[in-house]
Amino acid sequence: MSTSVLFDAPGPRARVRNHLLTLVSVILVAAVLYGVYRGFDAKGQWEGKIWEPFIQAETWQVYIIPGLIGTLKAAAAAAVLAMLFGAVFGLARLSDHAWIRVPAGLVVEVFRAIPLLLLIFFIFYLAPSVLGGGDYAFFAVVLGLTLYNGSVLAEIVRAGVLSVARGQSEAGYAIGMRKNQVMRMVLLPQAITVMMPAIVSQLVVLLKDTALGYIIAYVDLLNTGFKILPAVFFGSLIPAAIVIGIIYVALNMSLSYLATWLERRTRRSRKVTAGPVEPPGAMAAVGAGQPTGGGDLPIVD
């Protein structure tokens, strides 16, 4: 029988109290949901005629799927660029050279401080005057997401590398590794597993923030499903909101599941998983010509 180290196991009275609180919470939530249901029912939002558009293939082909593709395109492009941005500026903040470290820190702090919506607006209205006429909605959404989320990811990378025990880098320097070798072969493989949950959380935030393209009329899932559809099929605003919300939840849950699988796979990989520490008599065994199980530098978690 396992014991949690996060909290003490509740006693008999505490278990009774927890069950009562759980029951009360369930009743309150059920009451709220029933009230919402009755309110929608009074407005006729459960009538079949306003849900009919969402069981027609044309609605999905013309409106929802193109919007979903727009959301995924913006999210995919921004995710790749944001991770590159975060890796470059996160490692730059760890540089020994002040002329690299200070500007990188300034860039990261500035873009973290600017609200994302304001950043998207600024890029959208500035781009035509700099790059000429055209539709810059996709460009503004992707660049804004890249700069903001990339700055957050840069801090995640920096914190992940700094979380690795100092003795790991010292061991690498002791056997003659250069700094880039220590970073690439010792610190980053261990830091990846530490950073993975935070990176995934930020990518989920990035995916949800693509909905801000709605403000500048970017053709995404929110725009086509929540703005255009209710205008075409009058009275379908609430059904459209429910359907679009379910799709967003499914996307985020899929991304979280993929990240969980990737994290488990990464932890099982020999490249980032610590090997056993050699016993004190290992050096004597080497001197006697006996194998010790490998010549790689042991990495201690």
pLDDT digits (tens, 9 = 90+) for 180-206: 778 877 788 878 877 888 888 898 899
Q: What is the rounded average pLDDT of the residues 221-249?
A: 83
Compare 166 and 263 and report the one with higher pLDDT: 166
Q: Please, what is the average pLDDT of the chain?
A: 81
In a domain, 10, yes or no: no
**Domain presence at residue 283:** no
Q: Is the pTM of this model over 0.85?
A: no
CATH number reported for the structural domain that contains residue 139 in this entry: 1.10.3720.10
Q: Is there a contact between 120 and 216 (Cβ–Cβ < 8 Å)?
A: yes
Q: Is residue 265 part of a domain?
A: yes
155 Cβ contact partners less than 8 Å away, ≥ 6 residues apart:
90, 108, 112
Which parts of 114-225 fold into alpha helices (H)?
116-131, 137-162, 166-174, 179-182, 188-209, 221-223
Q: Domain containing 185: what range?
A: 49-273
Residue 283's pLDDT band (cuts 50, 70, 90): very low
Q: Which of 35-39, 80-84, 243-247 has the highest mean pLDDT?
A: 80-84
Is 195 within the bounds of a domain? yes
Give domain status of residue 294, yes or no.
Answer: no
Query: Once rounded to an integer, what is the mean pLDDT over residues 251-278?
Result: 66
Q: How high is the pLDDT of residue 190?
A: 79
301 falls within a domain:
no
Query: Distance between CA atoms of 60 and 76, rounded to whole angstroms?
Result: 21
Task: Tell me if 29 is assigned to some domain.
Answer: no
In Å, the largest CA–CA distance within the chain is 87
Number of domains present in the structure of the chain: 1
Task: Enter the tokens of residue 126.
Answer: 């500035």
Residue 32 lies in a domain: no
Task: State the helix-helix crossing angle for 137-162 and 98-113, rounded to 10 degrees.
Answer: 120
